[in-house]
Structure 1
Amino acid sequence: MSNCIFCRIIEGEIPSTLVYENEHVIAFEDINPEAPTHLLIVPKKHIPTTMDVMEEDGKIIMPEIFAAIGHLARQFDLEQEGFRIVNNCGSNGGQTVNHLHFHLLGGRQLQWPPG
């Protein structure tokens, strides 16, 4: 999808600070971090929202996305103190890029409710 910023990052057209990549998933630093560690974990397949995940996408979401999250939590020393995983869905849910992605936030005490 040529107009999708995450697809353009995946294709290398837009620079990012890449922290993880495999065949199905890419992860990079958020350009507007909300915590000391704020990473975006993105499937390479363009899936617009959580509501668009199909049964065949299960092999991407589970285990690939969550394996990446576990790897990154260990890499960034978040597993001891804890972290938050967020997926925003739709405009009222706070989704600003229509490409399924997960935020990994940590490195400080996170508040609840988030807002």
Structure 2
Amino acid sequence: MSLDGTYDHDNIFAKILRGEMGCARVFEDDHVFAFMDVFPQSKGHTLVIPKHSSARNLLEEEPDRLSHLILGVQRVAKAVRAALNPDGIVVTQFNGAPAGQTIYHLHFHIIPRWNGVELGRHASGGMADMDELKALAAQIAAKIS
């Protein structure tokens, strides 16, 4: 998909927000929803999405929503750091298929990194165990401030 198009209200993230699909929830407030990536690139790979948006990518989002979203990303990234003590954290966001975007609902990836541990490829590894993801989600959620 290109950078242009129509928002699909049946994308997986929209279904998660409506409660039609399950997830390992990390955090939620009035503006953002954070949950574990089911195809993680590393232990603790977390996604943060806007709750009230039909933006497919960063270029389509309203500035007032972006400010809340990036603050939510920072808040969750700090909790990932506190919970998992990684050596580094990658925060990334893709816009369009050529850039690596696979779900067309604006989202940020928070990916913990450890020295000497290979990073999995985006959306290409196997699906993680949901019980393990829920345990990680609880560990991270406990560090949200």
Taking structure 1 as the reference length, the TM-score comes to 0.82
Higher helix share: 2
Greater percentage in strand: 1
- 3-state SS, counterpart of residue 14 of structure 1: coil
Deviations 1:46-101 (A, max 9, x none): 21112212xxx212211x22222222222222577331111011010010011110
Q: Which of 56, 60, 76 is matched with 1:52 structurally?
A: 60
The residue that corresponds to 1:22 in the other structure is 29
Q: Which amino acid aligns with 1:68?
A: G
Unpaired segments of 5 or more residues in structure 2? 1-7, 123-145
Aligned residue pair count = 110
SS at match of 1:37: coil
Distance (whole Å) between structure 2 residues aligned to residue 81 and residue 73 of structure 1: 13
- Does the alignment pair 1:85 with 2:91? yes
Residue 105 of structure 1: CA displacement?
0.4
- SS at 2:45 equivalent: strand
- Kindly provide the amino acid, as one letter, of the partner of residue 18 in structure 1: R
Q: Report the RMSD for the aligned CA atoms in angstroms.
A: 2.4
Q: Percent identity?
A: 26
Q: Which structure's relative contact order is higher, taking Cα pairs within 8 Å and 6+ residues apart?
A: 2
- Structure ID, larger Rg: 2
AA aligned opposite 2:59: M
Q: Quick check: 2:33–2:49 contact (8 Å CA) kept in 1?
A: yes
For 1:27-106, what aligned pairs fall within 5 Å after superposition? 27-44=34-51, 45-53=53-61, 57-62=62-67, 64-77=68-81, 81-106=87-112
| Inter-partner Cα distance in structure 1 for 2:63 and 2:9 | 24
CA apart distance, 1:107: 4.1
Find the counterpart in structure 2 of residue 8 from structure 1.
15
Whole-Å separation in 2 of the counterparts to 1:90 and 1:108 = 28
Looking at structure 2, the residues matched to 25 and 87 of structure 1 have their Cα atoms a distance apart, in angstroms, of: 15
What is the alpha-carbon distance in structure 2 between the residues aligned to residue 3 and residue 69 of structure 1?
Answer: 24
